Amino acid sequence: MSDSNLKWEPQYGIPPGWMLEDHLQARGYSQAEFAQRCNRSPKLISEIIAGKAPIEPATALQFEKVLGLNAQIWVNIESKYQLFLAREAEAKKAEEESEWVRGFPINHLVKRGYISQPKTTADQVSTLLAFFRIASTDAWDVIYRHPKAALRHSPSFKSDPKVWSTLLQIGVIKAEEQLCLPYCKSEFSTTVRRIRELTRKPLVDALNDAQKLCNDAGVGLVLVEPIRGAPLSGAAWWTNPKTAVIQLTGRYKSNDHLWFTFFHEAAHILLHSKKNIFLDASNDTGEADIELEAHRWAANLLIPPKRWSDFVTRSSFTEQEIKTFAKELGIATGIVVGRLQHEGIIDWSHFNDLKESFNWDDFR
């Protein structure tokens, strides 16, 4: 546990006017006399004692000369008191915004250790704002409910902004833990093709290697567990002009879906605007042109069109034929199975034993 978690903060504030009044009484000064000695108006001194006016730095310097108490002390007391008042006002406002927290997956965030268990409604509001690194619920609305950045998603993606924004923010936090070199398009293009070869390795090893390769090319690669209510397979966005992020959820729990999602998101990074946030629900991209382009790019990179056309002209498919074809291409056998299933060439129930299952316990 960090020292900051052990730090105690009093749940009250001491108005600096109380301390000033004590010092005046100790010296036998009336407010009027003290005001005269400070060359300030009696009204100002009265308002400071009543807590209606703050002690400004220049005033603190005058108090230092008249009372012999360092100006920094007066400034510190005033600062702490004003912060206390601000916290009180924020807590009151948070209580009034209790409706805003509804819909956020707080239990998921607590369970996965992203936040501590909030004790009150006001604490829930404050904790969520800190999680999203924003100062107000209005700021959340601007960034997530009505984002200025272009938000692109596959037609099948339907989710409450409170849920998908939470999932995306977890990705942001995880990406910040990775050390990425500045993004280089040519380097990342080469990296993506090297990662294609990794698909034949066990998932844990392959994804660890892929993350390192992506980081060296200026791209963060993060795995984020899916959240109920956000059917998100993957996402891609730019944290800044020099760093991109690809987020995977392993939603379908098989290597063919996970790898296709990776290459789909990589296409967004390589082909599309840095101003967009891309959210993808599945590898069924419907009619959205930008999603269809990413879909085709990923499919053609994994299996060149001519090789695929030659392969599917066969009237039947055996386990050995699928394994041989995948080995010749240098990709995971599960990817070939998934492509055959997706295009309706074989039934969804066929050859699933040739896929590798994605298990979150292996990555936690």
Taking only the tens place, the pLDDT of each residue in 321-356 is: 999 999 999 999 999 999 999 999 999 999 999 999
Out of 11-15, 161-165, 197-201, 226-230, which region has the weakest mean confidence (pLDDT)? 11-15
pLDDT at site 3? 40
**Pair 181, 212: CB distance under 8 Å:** no
* Across 220-232, average pLDDT: 90
pLDDT at site 110? 95
pLDDT at site 310? 93
pLDDT at site 5? 42
117-151 residue pLDDT tens: 998 888 898 899 999 999 888 899 888 876 655 55
Q: How far is CA 205 from CA 32, 209, 258, in A?
A: 78, 6, 14
38-49 residue pLDDT tens: 999 999 999 999
53-67 residue pLDDT tens: 999 999 999 999 999
Confidence at 359, pLDDT banded by 50, 70, 90: confident
Mean pLDDT across the chain: 88
Residue 94 pLDDT > 80: no
143-160 residue pLDDT tens: 887 665 555 655 556 678
pLDDT at site 156? 59
CA 182 to chain centre: 20
pLDDT at site 150? 55
pLDDT at site 232? 85
| 46 closest CA partner among 28, 58, 56, 34 | 34
pLDDT at site 154? 58
- Of residues 17 and 155, the one with the higher pLDDT is 17
Confidence at 172, pLDDT banded by 50, 70, 90: very high
- Of residues 188 and 276, the one with the higher pLDDT is 188
